Amino acid sequence: MHERSHHSNGAGSSYPTFYGTTILSVRRNGRVAIGGDGQVTLGDCVVKHDASKIRRIGHGRVLAGFAGAVGDSLALIERFEEKLLAHGGNLVRAAGELSRDWRTDRVLRRLESMLIAVDEEHSLLLSGGGEVIQPTDGVIAIGSGGNYARAAALALHNSTDLPADEIVRRSLEIAGDICVYTNQQHHIEVL
């Protein structure tokens, strides 16, 4: 599920792009939804159609979605949940601590994964470079179909009154129609 390439963000930095999934989160009207497709690829072969890449963690108060190598992503979510529990469920503090560890810990630095984590107040992107990014528009996406899903979600967010979960569903459908590493089997959770 994780072929990886690097691309420039135009400012000279290089961020990894993970192929093999699409994860999208949308925040609207006091609700936040996160969803992902179910496709798992190994090289150029689809090996699973209905994987769930969204997890409820932190006693069900945080939703997390991952893109990248499955084992690495699961290890990262487990480590993130430990941070959440250690910091009383404070998403921002846990993300900051995980980010610090991700930059300095030899084992974590090798993980090929990205995370989106959301709670009732915050939406965060955690990347392997140790960045913690909070979008200003409440829409965030990762994975090979992430840019397609994000563009669709922004268009729907700005032009309709659809609830967050419906925007996520429709945007994942659009990404699945465009990205060969994204399918139409969706798992969506809402807080």
For residues 170 and 172, give the distance between their C-alpha atoms in angstroms, rounded to a whole number: 5
Contact 57, 81 (CB under 8 A): yes
The CA–CA distances, whole Å, from 87 to 75, 82, 90, 170, 172 equal 19, 9, 6, 35, 32
Is the Cα torsion angle 156, 162, 164, 168 positive or negative in sign? Answer: negative
Residues serving a catalytic function are 21
Contact 71, 103 (CB under 8 A): no
Strand partners of residue 8: 14
